[in-house]
Amino acid sequence: MALQSRRQVMRAAMHGAAGLCLAPLASRVAPVYAQSAAPAFDAVTLSERLYLLTSAGQANVVAQTQPDGVVLVDGAAANVAEALLDTVAGLPASGAIHSLFNTHWHPQQTGLNERLGAEGATIIAHENTRLWLTTDITYPWDDQSFAPLSKAAQPNLSFYDTGELNSQVRYGYLRHAAHTDGDMYVQFPEANVLVVGDTVSGAGWPFVDWWTGGWIGGIVGNLELLLDLTDAQTRVVPARGRVLSRADLQSQYEMYNIVYERLSRMLNSGRGPDEAVAAKPTEEFDAIMGPPDEFVRRAFESLWAYLTPDAALPRRQWGVFA
């Protein structure tokens, strides 16, 4: 029911977000998630020439070995770059990595950019992701700071809507902005594999990075887009956690719709993030999804950026608008 209004809101919000102008600070060192010490990657065959390289589920990378070299979807964090490159080199019919996708700007996706960019690889990302990687970012909730990547490490092929690498790889923008406003998918049609970055979590409640454009309404909206791109046989690879099915996406879609409605109602009745957390709006899902407080807080705050009339106020106060 509120879906209609959510869509309208998102359309309006997208126009607003386009004007976002970003401000300064420190250096890209700290990770977005706590790093677990799990540098080794396991290679799991998804299909002929297509592999999931996973570091204990904390970092999922997909590699396709093509006759002219390797395509990678995400590059994991810089501190596991060597382990990842070793794993890629050990794949059957491996070769040089000629193309790297960044499903969004986070350091867990962009750890190979410096190295592969310097070697002349094509680094593909949505234009918003490219822009985030050219600017300083500091989170308001914990002061983590991220400096721009060097020119060579920045995406050198950005897109707005959809694209094709060749007949074997298609990609597109997930325009509702779930995790960040640069979320994208990469599709391997022959293998019926869809790589979705952090727009979908395969490992508990997600991190809603509303500071760079993600929001709870976007989680619902992007799941809707992904349902249209999948069938019962599709394997969906998130950036963290297990490989998912279309049925998993469907249940997540229904679950996040419920959470979105509850949080929106609380926002509309004047509640704040502490009250949202205290109200336990995810209670019936927590046994499966895990501790919810951080997710609920960020998801609630994400509504400020998209649903309140003076949405930009907190960001203006923090000096982010020019």
CA distance 203 to 225: 20
- Looking at beta carbons only, is 191 or 203 nearer to Zn ion? 203
Span of 77-85, 105-113, 148-156, 214-222 interacting with Zn ion by CB under 5 A: 105-113
Only one residue has tokens 């350091």, namely 107
Mark the segment that binds Zn ion (CB under 5 A) among 7-15, 45-53, 84-92, 99-107. Answer: 99-107
Residue closer to Zn ion (CB basis): 95 or 140: 140
Interface characters, 172-211, with Zn ion (x: CB under 5 A): --------------------------x-------------
**In the complex with Zn ion, which residue's Cβ is closer, 38 or 258?**
38
Q: Give the nearest distance from C-beta 59 to Zn ion in angstroms.
A: 10
Give me the least distance between CB of 124 and Zn ion, in Å please: 17
Least CB distance to Zn ion at residue 93 (A): 30
Smallest gap from Cβ 191 to Zn ion, in A, equals 24
- By beta-carbon proximity to Zn ion, the closer residue of 106 and 130 is 106
Span near Zn ion by CB under 5 A; candidates 100-108, 212-220, 270-278, 293-301: 100-108
Please, what is the minimum distance in Å from the beta carbon of residue 162 to Zn ion?
21
Cβ atoms of 193 and 52 within 8 Å: the answer is no
Which window, 22-30, 98-106, 155-163, 293-301, contacts Zn ion (CB under 5 A)?
A: 98-106
Q: Is 118 helix (H, G, I), strand (E, B) or coil?
A: helix
If the CB atoms of residues 107 and 273 are measured against Zn ion, the closer one turns out to be 107
Q: Are the CB atoms for 78 and 93 separated by under 8 Å? A: no
- Please check whether residue 218 is in contact with residue 176, taking contact to mean a CB–CB distance below 8 angstroms: yes
- In angstroms, what is the minimal distance from the CB of 106 to Zn ion? 4
* Long-range contacts from 141-145, C-beta under 8 angstroms, 24+ separation: 141/211, 141/298, 141/301, 144/30, 144/32, 145/25, 145/26, 145/27, 145/28, 145/29, 145/30
Judge whether 195 and 287 are in contact, CB under 8 Å: no
CB closer to Zn ion, 207 vs 300: 207
Give SS3 for 131. Answer: helix
Question: Around 277, how many Cα atoms within 13 Å sit in the side-chain half-sphere?
Answer: 10
Whole-number Å distance between alpha carbons of 49 and 52: 10
Q: Within positions 211 to 250, which residues make up the interface with Zn ion, using CB under 5 A?
A: none
Neighbours of 320 (CB within 10 A): 18
- Rank residues 28 and 106 by Cβ distance to Zn ion and give the closer one: 106
Among 28, 49, 106, 126, interactor with Zn ion by CB under 5 A: 106
Q: Give the span between the Cα atoms of 8 and 290, in whole angstroms.
A: 31
Size of the site for Zn ion (CB under 5 A): 2
User: Rounded to the nearest whole angstrom, what is the least distance from the CB of residue 149 to Zn ion in the complex?
Assistant: 15
- The least distance separating Zn ion from the CB of residue 286, rounded to whole angstroms, comes to 22
CB of 181 or CB of 198, closer to Zn ion: 198
Say whether residue 74 binds Zn ion (CB under 5 A). no
- DSSP of 172-212: EE-TT-SSBTT-EEEEETTTTEEEEETTS-BSSSPP--GGG
> Which tokens hold the place of 112?
């190979």
Q: Which residues of the chain form contacts with Zn ion (CB under 5 A)?
A: 106, 198
